[in-house]
Structure 1
């Protein structure tokens, strides 16, 4: 599916799916959960796998509490959640009681594609560190979207999804961003040109909309139940209530 076609056919859905939280409560409740030791010579935060839903799961795969975030790499609320949650969330994950799965969601369509392609460019283990760094510097690289000219936009109408992703990745300085973090320019361009990866991002977004009723980002599930939460303070209170303490 051509990405510009995807944007046109889902414009109404994305207009509704602006950055914001879910509106349905339903977190599980429970007694304090026992901590679970990580594999030898590892911390649970270093155990990361790609999931069948197109996301990346960090932590004990058998954790009693399974937190899922649908997030957009260009969403300011998602960036705020990342910066506020990382330290405390990693502690809970390292206890073995909570796993964290991040599912990419193209809430702003094409703008989200290059960042996600590059975040997953070095494999599952690097996904969370790169995503956190992209969120920390979001205002800087996202502000460069203004360098996309009218001529660029006209040219994009005849481009493939891979060419559009490469153009935007270049214009927003994302290739230079990852070059300073161990990804070569050739590797970055190869990731931006990965049509299968772009299709997978679209599939994850469509699944989130249809099956999980994602209405905005950040959007959270806990053990499959939607959370009435959009900030780390709110999510943490749900985790504590459910036994992560």
Structure 2
């Protein structure tokens, strides 16, 4: 039995590696496109881009697609996720709270995508991907701490409510505590302790390592089921990807993750 388990794990790692190679190629193509088409007004930021990956026609998932689809956690109690656990489409978002492009997506695009969450089509799963040093790490830990009191998305909305200057002390411990209060985190002492905990560090590291294994090097980066999208793309790019993924899931005879309980974090609750 142990040998079979080891073989299964080895096979899965190889599958993820192969799927990751596909994602890396797509992300590299996105970066090349970004260099050619990025808006000149980037506010000096080194994350995000104006790149996109063409939406494929709906079709049953390949073996590599299946490995990417398996990255969705679909945990009904995950406070970092919004939408039904059995939604046919899962969008994984790798983001940094200091990234201006992530903020643009959060302010301009995510609210428009909530219609898909509300009708049961889409689930959004956040991954912490701190890129810009100590303050990014601090902000990610703060996000984790807010999540322990079911206030992650409220904290997310407070952080991204305005563009903040990177590495300027905005995400110092006292500042993120103020954001947590604004987000309605009830127990600030617990928030402070959770931020400093080993669990917070391990959680953020695990999220980041998942992204790096896939070849993510800038934020925001997304997986819409198995389709990568790089940067704060126009709304239409995400709508096309979500609708294509939903059609592909239907063509494959699936509606998400059968047998899994619906996520308690509905779009309505996340908007509170």
TM-score normalised by the shorter chain: which range applies?
0.5 to 0.7
Shift of 1:242: 3.8
Query: What TM-score, normalized to structure 2?
Result: 0.59
TM-score by length of 1: 0.64
Alpha-carbon deviation of 1:147?
5.1
Three-state SS of the structure 1 residue aligned to 2:168 is helix
Corresponding position: 1:146 with 2:146:
no
Query: Counterpart in 2 of 1:19?
Result: 47
Unaligned runs of 5+ in 2: 1-30, 32-44, 60-74, 248-272
Structure 1 counterpart SS, 2:103: helix
Structure-2 change in CA distance of 1:84 and 1:176 (3 Å): same
Residue in 1 aligned with 2:152?
Answer: 127
**For the Cα contact (< 8 Å) 2:138–2:173, is it kept in 1?**
yes
RMSD: 3.1
Displacement of 1:71 in angstroms is: 0.6
Matching of residues 1-245 of structure 1 within 5 Å: 18-21=46-49, 25=53, 27=55, 29-30=57-58, 49-50=77-78, 56-123=80-147, 125-139=150-164, 142=165, 145-146=167-168, 168-170=172-174, 173-183=175-185, 184-210=187-213, 212-227=214-229, 230-233=232-235, 234-243=237-246
Cα pair distance change 1:22/1:202, threshold 3 Å? farther
For structure 1, the 5+ residue unaligned runs are: 1-15, 32-46, 149-164
**Alpha carbons 1:22, 1:220 under 8 Å: kept:** no
> Shift of residue 133 of structure 1?
1.6
Cα distance change of structure 1 residues 195 and 235 upon mapping to structure 2, 3 Å threshold? same
Tell me how many residue pairs correspond in the alignment: 186
- The whole-number CA distance in structure 2 between the counterparts of 1:177 and 1:57 is 20
The verdict on how the C-alpha distance between 1:204 and 1:29 changes in structure 2, with shifts beyond 3 A counting, is same
1:77, CA displacement in angstroms?
Answer: 0.2
Deviation of residue 190 (structure 1)? 0.9
